[in-house]
Amino acid sequence: MTARTPSTSLLGLGAALALSLTLLPACEGEKAGDGGKTADKADAGKAGDAKVEPTKAEKPAAEWKWTLPEGLTDPPAVPEDNPMSAAKVELGHKLFMDKRLSFDGSRSCYSCHQNELGNADGRKTALGAGDKPLGRNTPTIWNVGYHDKGLYWDGRAATLEKQAIGAWKGGNMGVGADNLDAKAKEIGALPEYAEAFASVFGVEEGEAVTPDQVAMALSAYERTLLCGDTAFDKGEMSDAAKRGWDLFRGKASCSTCHSGDNFSDGGYHDVGFAHDDSGALIEGADVGRGKPAKDEGENYKFRTPTLRNVSKTAPYFHDGRTASLEEAVRYMAAGGNAKAPGLDQNMRDTSLSDAEIADLVAFLESLACTGSLEVIGDQSVAGIPEAAAPAEGAAPADEAQKAG
């Protein structure tokens, strides 16, 4: 956990304002008033009518206080029926680190979202429980609470709570929809958890813990994984990084999509990967957003990823196709694949020089997250990260949807 007391230094404030005014660099410094970044408003007033009954033992949610790192203006949105509490976050933290959640005891949530790997897994595409190759690249877990228009590359999970159920029953953890109730009951009955579920969710003795309760605790923990305080946020950028930041929101127009505190508009865009250089559809191309949206017009679109910590999460893109950050930046700055018929209209070749590409990379490096998740127990898993050679026989893109 990295929550820190926000500094009130002018530099830091300036960086935060610049960040929230991505598209209006000229107004930098004119806006004041977001300085009080220690927000305690998240659940004030909601605790009493929350749909999920807090027990006598649960501390009122209104007591939850967010301490935001520099660079994040608002706390993540919290669903009314899953208010934050310290006890719930602690329970979720333990569950996130517990390999027994997976069907074969082989991996925890953390196994694919590791500190050393940018809180992703360093693999081209993920390796699920039972060593099942999955179809998509693992995104960083930092700031997931801000992806409130949809989680996953295709946005198929509307909330963190739904995402957690998906990851748990799907290919990631491999439990299977039919076994989820039994798994939740088993986990909840473990002596080290029984008391926490009782105090957080009011689970009575002999009563089974439900998958939703596990998902709610996991989600509360994930909402506390805030990445700010970066060199960018603190105004401690190198000259190259500063030039890169100017390009990012200026000439290179990256910020049309990578916008806001978390460098994502939450929207879906086709950047041209589903088509080849002649504009022909690549066989078996991942349809992305089209599938959950049940709309062919949304085919080949993927959610704009955050760029926080991006220098540590190689390889890149939804299928991990690109090994280096420089290569990824070159592709985006060149406007993607101009032959792709559905190419997003904001993708255009901005003809950057090699020096400008290097400046953009330096800027992205200044977004490296400074914190780390507190690890509990042994989290090593064979195959994560992957050995030098790419995994063979990766499941078809379609598997990714089932993967959760």
Between residue 64 and residue 103, which ones bind ligand HEC under the rule CB under 6 A? none
Contacts of 257 (CB under 8 A, 6+ apart): 264, 265, 267, 269, 304, 344, 346
Contacting ligand HEC (CB under 6 A), which of 152, 197, 201, 232?
A: 152
Q: Which of 13, 17, 220, 328 binds ligand HEC (CB under 6 A)?
A: 328
Only segment of 59-67, 76-84, 316-324, 365-373 that touches ligand HEC (CB under 6 A): 316-324
* Binder among 199, 224, 313, 379 for ligand HEC (CB under 6 A): 313
List the one residue from 243, 318, 395, 397 that touches ligand HEC (CB under 6 A).
Answer: 318
Q: Which of 16, 91, 329, 369 binds ligand HEC (CB under 6 A)?
A: 329
Give the residue, chosen from 172, 199, 230, 379, that forms a contact with ligand HEC under the rule CB under 6 A: 172
Residue list 382-401, contact with ligand HEC (CB under 6 A): 400
Stretch that binds ligand HEC, among 2-10, 46-54, 252-260, 386-394 (CB under 6 A): 252-260
Q: From its phi and psi, is residue 393 left (phi > 0), alpha (psi between -120 and 50) or beta?
A: left
Binding mask 254-273 for ligand HEC (x = CB under 6 A): x-xxx----------x-x-x
Which residue is associated with the tokens 């990295």? 2
Judged by CB under 6 A, which of 16, 68, 91, 332 binds ligand HEC?
332
Q: Does 109 bind ligand HEC (CB under 6 A)?
A: yes
311 touching ligand HEC, by CB under 6 A: no
- Nearer residue to ligand HEC within complex by CB, 304 or 366: 304
Q: How far is the CB of 367 from ligand HEC (least distance, A)?
A: 10
Q: CA 246 → CA 199, 351, 354, distances in Å?
A: 50, 15, 16
**Residues at the contact surface with ligand HEC, assessed by CB under 6 A:** 107, 109, 111-113, 121, 126-128, 134, 136, 138-139, 141, 144, 147, 151-153, 160, 163-164, 167-168, 172-173, 218, 222, 252-254, 256-258, 269, 271, 273, 302, 304-305, 310, 313, 316-318, 328-329, 332-333, 344, 346-347, 360, 400, 403
